[in-house]
Amino acid sequence: MNRAFSAGGLSLRHPGALPQAKLNTAPLALTDTKPLLQLAVPMLRFHIVPNARINQVAGEYGGAIRVKLRAPAVEGKANAALRRFLAEQLQIPERDIVLEHGQKSRDKMIRIGGLSEKEIHTRLGAAK
């Protein structure tokens, strides 16, 4: 016996009932074999100097972009200040700046979306 209950367009079948529709088990054909486009998102190294007099890009330090920040290196305040500062300088939303490594270090790896590495260096005024 196949019992069903229908409420509001939903059909609840008895657990022992067979499904009404048959599944298509034919193999899928690959129609498009082109590789997916992957955009390169620059990862840049930054060296942070907290407790500075002003927020500024201060050249390079060991291959990293040196940034002086007024915020103290306490409870992530310098990390938040760095994201805000970079967003202002690069004229991009803060959500496009992601701290990948170095949450508790002065040396940080930051992923910046929406700009090329060359454009980032140009907007920050850092030589590269």
What are the pLDDT digits (tens) for 4-39? 555 555 555 555 555 555 555 656 555 555 555 556
**pLDDT of 53:** 96
Domain-located, residue 35: no
- The CATH number linked to 95 is 3.30.1200.10
Residue 103 sits in which domain range?
A: 43-124
Give the Cα separation of 96 and 118 in Å (integer).
16
pLDDT digits (tens, 9 = 90+) for 44-80: 999 999 999 999 999 998 999 999 999 999 999 999 9
H/E element, 97: strand 97-101
DSSP three-state, residue 15: coil
**Structural domain contains residue 23:** no
Q: Please tell me the predicted confidence (pLDDT) of residue 48.
A: 96
Q: Rounded distance, CA 89 to CA 56, Å?
A: 9
Which pLDDT does position 45 carry in this prediction? 96
Task: Collapse the DSSP code of 6 into the 3-class scheme (helix H, G, I; strand E, B; otherwise coil) and give the result.
Answer: strand
Greatest distance between any 2 Cα atoms in the chain: 82
Q: What is the tally of structural domains in the chain?
A: 1
Is residue 36 assigned to a domain?
A: no
What is the reported pLDDT for 5? 52
- For 41-88, the DSSP string reads --EEEEEEE-S-SS-EEEEEETTEEEEE-SS-SSTTHHHHHHHHHHHH
Does residue 9 lie in a domain region?
no
In which element (H, E) is residue 13 found?
Answer: strand 10-13
**Domain assignment present for 33:** no
The structure's pTM equals 0.67
